[in-house]
Amino acid sequence: MQGTREIKRRIRSVQNTQQITKAMKMVAAAKLRRAQERAEASRPYTDKIREVIGAIASATEDVSHPLLETREIKKTGYIVMTSDRGLAGGYNANILRLLTSTVKERHQSNDEYSIFVIGRKGRDFLKKRNYPLIGEIVGLSDSPQFADIKQIAKTAVAMYAEKVFDELYLVYNRFNSAISQTPVVEKLLPLADLADSGAGNYSPYEFEPSAIEVLNDLLPRFAETVIYNALLNAKASEHGARMTAMGNATDNATEMIATLTLNYNRARQASITQEISEIVGGANALS
């Protein structure tokens, strides 16, 4: 009976794990819905700023601003977005693999780039391997506010404007669906394309105190808002990845329980058959 007891113990253990993964899947699904809603709600604001900037660019000759300047690349900045917790499948591994391959391909030494990192998983990975970190945020909630990342966003944009960086990239998982997330390296600065995309598709605006002053105020806000939108997108991707991972874990537990139950029934049947054989053998010996 020792074999059947061990199998029953394993079945109970897997059942307990299955209950946990099922609960985590349901929690992730609820968080995913909220994260999608927040990401979609923030999009009109970003689109409107883009529209106004495009209108200024199309209506003003010789538009000039540090965030619009394209210059020789001497140093690159990266803002990397990972999660604080694991159990999300390949969510963090995929984005960190993309970052390391990009850095290896583009840079010869650590002096050529610097990294801002969001998320404990990314922070621990990069610190352990001595990547040049200059800013970090950990412990974000599952529904982050703009104020939570405002300082790091403002610092990154200001460092580009002050020519500490000559380009700035966002590295994050772009949300496609609950089961699909794409790791991307997306250029944020310079915003040269904005100045070229404003021709003729916008309603006329009157700017006070002047178009240039409005542009000077909007461009940093736009860049910071794009960073925040990327974070909301990354959060939705994280919840989707965790929901999928926990769903797969639950399915695997179900299959394991079925296999263990079959093995238990076979072991129990073999034990009963052996006991019957021993009883019959003993009866025959007595007769």
The pTM score is 0.84
Domain span including residue 116:
39-241
- Same domain for 201 and 256, yes or no, is no
- Same domain for 112 and 15, yes or no, is no
Alpha-carbon torsion (33, 48, 82, 105), positive or negative: positive
What confidence tens digit (pLDDT) does each residue in 200-243 have? Answer: 455 566 767 777 787 788 888 888 999 999 999 999 999 999 99
**pLDDT (average), residues 259-274:** 84
Return the C-alpha torsion angle 184, 188, 191, 192, nearest 10: -40
Largest CA distance in the chain: 115
What confidence tens digit (pLDDT) does each residue in 90-120 have? Answer: 999 999 999 999 999 999 999 999 999 999 9
- Same domain for 57 and 131, yes or no, is yes
Query: What's the residue count for the chain?
Result: 287
- Same domain for 261 and 202, yes or no, is no
- Same domain for 47 and 89, yes or no, is yes
Buried-state track 143-161, b at ≥16 Cβ within 10 A, e below 16:
ebeeebbeebbeebbebbb
- 52 pLDDT band, cuts 50/70/90, is confident
